[in-house]
Structure 1
Amino acid sequence: MNPADLGLPVDVPSTALFTDHYELTMLQAALANRTADRRSVFEVFTRRLPEGRRYGVVAGTGRVLDAVENFRFDGAVLEFLRENAVVDMRTLDWLASYRFSGDIWGYPEGEVYFPGSPILRVEGSFAECVLLETVILSILNHDSAIAAAASRMSCAAGGRPLIEMGARRTHELAAVASARAAYVAGFTSTSDLAAGFRYGIPTVGTSAHAFTLVHDDERDAFTAQVASLGSSTTLLVDTYDVAEAVRTAVEVAGTGLGAVRIDSGDLLLVAHRVRQQLDELGATSTRIVVTSDLDEYAIASLAAAPVDAYGVGTQLVTGSGHPTCSMVYKLVARATSADPKAALAPVAKKSSGGKTSVGGRKWAARRRDADGTAEAEVIGTGPVPAALADAQLLVELVKGGEVVAREPLEAARERHRTALAGLPLSATQLSRGEAVLPTEYV
């Protein structure tokens, strides 16, 4: 839930400077030679998935819509641009009244994507569309990378809850975005209160090793925590000797102790020993939570362990080795003149260095077999084949500058579950491989 939804005051800063210098110098030149008003189509896509990944996850769409709405050049921003001679006065005057008035279509948040998928399509004048490139890529590249890692971790967890705990391992604002993306892709909660406040994600947390160390002994620490938070709390049991800590925890909290957390050591071995000890002490319903720099492979290795939940930090907020999706924002079509009725002509970069792209305003659909399992990502620029009419992926997000597709985060979360369930089973394998669906251009 957004703070504004709660009736709370919210300071919404401009996103206009979340851009690169050359976006504004291109604008200045386009205004001067009268190409600024040419109707244009830009698309966001990636030429390839990160090495070894079988699918990508679209995340950050809701944040993109917020960023587009708040892309305003207020007095302070304009003064900064003037003082630093970034652009001339004519361009500053144009920027002062900037409001995106075009249309945006895209894959809805939580959907999966593949190489070439037109994840976002931005349409309007060249001037108003080109300014949005950097902020859109910044959000989608980051959030989709985190969501892809989170989705793999969620698959590896096999239905066991996942807690996002990466706030201390990344920039404070990136931490909030990471928690949001992880929640879309299957995590159940976060330790980050800012993410809970801004997006309504459930927050959890109890204590760290410092709380145990500040007390004279472990028993005093456990007694204080249980007295304050109740016996359903989670006690951290690996500050000193795990076996002794588990015994003390049950003595203090009783057999109704909520959970114990293990943050170090051979997690597979320790989890089995702790489960056996808890059961022998009568704490059969006490859960075991493990943390300690987990990634999807470590989580998968614990599938047979008596673990009830995982806490993931560093590897999640760094995309588990792939902190970006290499998405690009390319002009794919533009009008032959500034006349609003001028026809659109496809354009594309043709590079010998492997950075080629396909021109034209595109649609995308996912073809399925007789059992309903996806078998190809189909992309085209002409009429949509009748057989794919009901399988199109892009939805309208912004119409005439107005956001038309805001949705609760739960909707994106449910969409991801559905999208993942519709892929071939090999999509969830952690072994390295190519994209699970081929991309076909028609």
Structure 2
Amino acid sequence: MLDTLRPGARLVESVIVTTRTSTALLTDSYELTMLSAALRNGTAHRACTFEVFARSLPHGRRYGVVAGTGRLLDLLREFTFGEAELASVEHGLDEATLEWLRGYRFTGAVEGYREGELYFPGSPVLTVTGTFAECVLLETLALSVLNHDSAVASAAARMVQAAGGRRTIEMGSRRTHEEAAVASARAAYLAGFDATSNLEAGRRHGVPTSGTSAHSFTLLHTDADGPDEAAAFRAQVDALGVGTTLLVDTYDIARGIATAIEVAGTGLGAVRIDSGDLGVMAVQARAQLDGLGATNTRVVLSGDLDEHSIAALRAEPVDVYGVGTSLVTGSGAPTAGMVYKLVEVDGVPVAKRSSHKNSRGGHKHAVRRARETGTVVEELVHRAGRPPELGAHDRELVVPMVRDGELLHGLPTLEDSRAHLAAALVSLPWEGLKLSRGEAAIPTTFLD
């Protein structure tokens, strides 16, 4: 198996720690433009409700996964304007706006779908209530977190389903921004991945970490007489024990496997193959390992995998999949396409009517309807305070998260959300888990 550290293990004292003390500038300039104008004409303090939703799922997807809510709530607590933040924006704002920002603290309410919940077109994923001024500032932060994390988690959930119970490792840190890498690892773990190669995700979020070695380590063991693959393997085994995973495709895969077993013995944890026709290589590797008596040595595959290639390999003797680029980029859907829209002002529903970008007015909640078997069949979106009659197996989806600006106690942990998503996926109709393109797994009905 891959070399694994305990969740949150501290590796070295020199790990770089983010020194950011405020999240207030993780936003767009136009939020401050609207704020300034609203303060000037007296509309800034009107009671408003904003809603985060996706008009549609990425093309061909049948469900989405809500992810990033926990991160967003943590970032919200740090959304304040200190002198450094004010200095960054003072040249574009009047003194009244700067003074308002100096005292800004979110005092409103946040509610929505819990992290790890499934969502569908029109689902009221997150609702922010307060004055226009304090809510409008949160648009960019909410969307940047939810759109990224939900896209990654949605892709990761499809990969976990395709793997059919085999281990999956996230290893995409080298293919995205350094902070996106940490968020991606968290989202992938939420969706069911077993571990990540990203050490900061291990420290910050408690995600189990795992890793092997790169081709450079094998190539390092080259001298005037040529490459010495055995020396590289021996060094790794000496340092990490026979339970380690050896990368066997630097030169010749069959020779690499033979050398790995010669060095480590039949108790070797795993071999990793990162190139070639992976299906063919997996079959040949399994046969060779079994022939050498290494029947418990696992076969790990990596190298441009996505949910479709993982599904194509399900019939092959693969024990672990390592996924990088396709995972951290949402496997073709790098954003969840969520929007943050004003839906109510002073209790009056408001809605955007632009062609193809329309919204539905009013503060909304949702119910997920299910059969006696637990299989979900429909999502009912209704006006808040006007729920439909609930069946014995129906459940309300919107839960409170922040009240009067204070984070509520007892919100789900990452582990709770991971377990919730696993159960939610089981509740989908079987066709909803298909990787082929199709309609959303269940319909959304809007109750006026």
- What TM-score, normalized by structure 2, do the two folds share? 0.93
1:110 equivalent in alignment to 2:121: no
Is the Cα contact below 8 Å between 2:64 and 2:154 reproduced in 1?
A: yes
| 1:208 Cα offset (Å) | 0.6
Show the counterpart of 1:348.
351
SS in 1 for 2:209: coil
For 2:153 and 2:207, locate their aligned partners in 1 and report how far apart those are by CA, in whole Å: 15
Displacement, 1:235? Answer: 0.4
Contact 1:222-1:249 at 8 Å conserved across structures: yes
Over aligned residues, Cα RMSD in angstroms? Answer: 1.6
Residue among 375, 378, 392 paired with 2:377: 375
Aligned residue number for residue 244 of structure 1: 255
* Residue equivalent to 1:79: 87
Alpha-carbon separation, structure 2, partners of 1:178 and 1:424: 27
Query: Are the aligned partners of 1:207 and 1:236 in contact in 2 as well (CA < 8 Å)?
Result: yes
User: Matched residues, percent identical?
Assistant: 59
Q: Distance in 1 between matches of 2:135 and 2:19?
A: 25
**Which residue matches 2:415?**
410
Indicate whether 1:53 and 2:61 are aligned. yes
- Tell whether 2:411 aligns with 1:420: no
In the alignment, the residues of structure 2 paired with residue 433 and residue 391 of structure 1 have an alpha-carbon distance, to the nearest angstrom, of 25
> 1:79: how far off?
1.1
Select the residue among 361, 364, 369 that pairs with 1:362.
Answer: 364
Gaps of 5+ in 1: 336-343
Q: What amino acid does structure 2 have at the position aligned with 1:19?
A: T
Could you tell me which runs of 5 or more consecutive residues in structure 2 were left unpaired when the two chains were aligned: 1-6, 10-14, 223-227
Shift of 1:11: 4.0
Q: Counterpart of 1:419 in structure 2: which amino acid? A: A
The structure 2 residue matched to 1:39, chosen from 14, 26, 47, is 47
1:12 Cα offset (Å):
4.7
Q: Determine helix, strand or coil for the equivalent of 1:260.
A: strand
1:176 is aligned to 182
Q: Cα distance, 1:109 vs. partner? A: 0.3
Task: Please give the secondary structure, in 2, of the residue aligned with 1:380.
Answer: strand
- CA distance, structure 2, for counterparts of residue 269 and residue 229 of structure 1: 29
Query: How far does residue 408 in structure 1 lie from its aligned partner after superposition?
Result: 2.1
Partner of 2:320: 309
Pick one of 65, 83, 101 that aligns with 1:95.
Answer: 101
Label 1:198 to 1:155 Cα distance change in 2 as closer, same or farther (>3 A): same
Cα separation, 2, equivalents of 1:31 and 1:439: 38
Contact 1:148 1:185 in 2 (8 A): yes
- Shift in Å, 1:10: 7.4
Letter in 2 for 1:65: L
Q: How big is the shift at 1:371? A: 2.1
- Which amino acid letter does the alignment assign opposite residue 241 of structure 1? D
**Match 1:394 to one of 393, 398, 403:** 398
1:290 equivalenced with 2:301 (yes/no)? yes
Number of the residue aligned with 1:318:
329
The CA distance in 1 between the partners of 2:30 and 2:279, in whole Å, is 52
Residue identity opposite 1:81 in structure 2: V
Corresponding residue of 1:204: 210
Separation (CA, whole Å) in 2 of partners of 1:276 and 1:78 = 65
Alpha-carbon distance in 2 for matches of 1:149, 1:48? 16
For 1:204-246, what per-residue CA distance to the aligned partner results, in whole angstroms no more than 9, with x for missing partners? 1121100000003101111111111111100000001111111
CA contact (8 A) 1:58 1:110 kept: yes
**Per the alignment, in what secondary structure is the counterpart of residue 390 of structure 2?**
helix
Amino acid aligned to 1:327: M
Give the TM-score of the pair, scaled to structure 1. 0.94
Kindly provide the amino acid, as one letter, of the partner of residue 43 in structure 1: E
Partner of 1:384: 387
**After TM superposition, what 4+ stretches of structure 1 lie above 6 angstroms from structure 2?**
none
Instruction: Write the deviation string for residues 95-152 of structure 1: whole angstroms up to 9, x where unpaired.
Output: 0010000000010000000000000000001100000000000000000000000000
Alignment of 1:143-292 (within 5 A): 143-216=149-222, 217-292=228-303
For the Cα contact (< 8 Å) 2:8–2:208, is it kept in 1? Answer: no
CA distance in 1, matches of 2:311, 2:438: 17
Note if contact 2:8-2:207 (Cα within 8 Å) is conserved in structure 1: no
Q: Would the aligned equivalents of 1:21 and 1:86 in 2 still touch at CA under 8 Å?
A: no
